[in-house]
Amino acid sequence: ALPLLAVVAGGIVGGALVDWLWRKTGSLRISRQLTAVVALSACAVCIGAAYFVSNVYGAVCLISFGTFCGTLAGPPASATTIDKSGDHPEQIYGMMNMTGNLGAAACPLAIGLLVESTGNWNLVLLVFVGIYAAAALCWIFLDPRGQVATREPVA
């Protein structure tokens, strides 16, 4: 239950943090990009640390804090999608959401194949470390300023 509670708290705190940073700095890069990079990096570090912890309670605490941090990056993603989508937030957010759903659907299959072929559940943690580290790296190169979609007049 602790990881699930951490997810709920991470989403709430992430939303408040993004709004607070935007009001204090006026910077989309700090509010969106920095929040996401730090949160996703912290998530990767916590989950990676859980790989090395032999105490179950310690591992659950690290994974829970990692899920809190990972979910903290959700509001910056939503806000950036809205910021960059111009006149098309529904289409672009829908595309982002569907892509996430495809990844979520493939995840249990990929994890199942990994565990079935290796017999090692601990490798699952390393897979997620890689996923969150890659996400943090992507955010480093994503500029939340400007728009990618504008409405063209219909001729």
pLDDT for position 155:
60
Q: Which amino acid is at 142?
A: L
Domain-located, residue 147: no
Domain-located, residue 125: yes
Ramachandran category for residue 151: left, alpha or beta (phi over 0 → left; psi -120 to 50 → alpha): beta
Closest CA to 72 of 153, 141, 136: 136
Banded pLDDT at 149 (limits 50, 70, 90): low
Domain-located, residue 47: yes
Domain-located, residue 29: yes
Domain-located, residue 146: no
Asked whether the whole model's pTM tops 0.85, one would answer yes
Statement: residue 23 has pLDDT above 80 = yes
Domain-located, residue 155: no
Q: What is the average pLDDT across 12-26?
A: 96
Domain-located, residue 114: yes
Write out the two tokens for 144: 């939340």
Q: Give the chain's mean pLDDT.
A: 93
The domain in which residue 25 lies consists of 2-141
Q: Who contacts 60 (Cβ-Cβ below 8 Å, separation ≥6)?
A: 2, 3
Write out the two tokens for 11: 């989403």
Statement: residue 44 has pLDDT above 90 = yes
Q: What is the CA radius of gyration of the chain?
A: 17
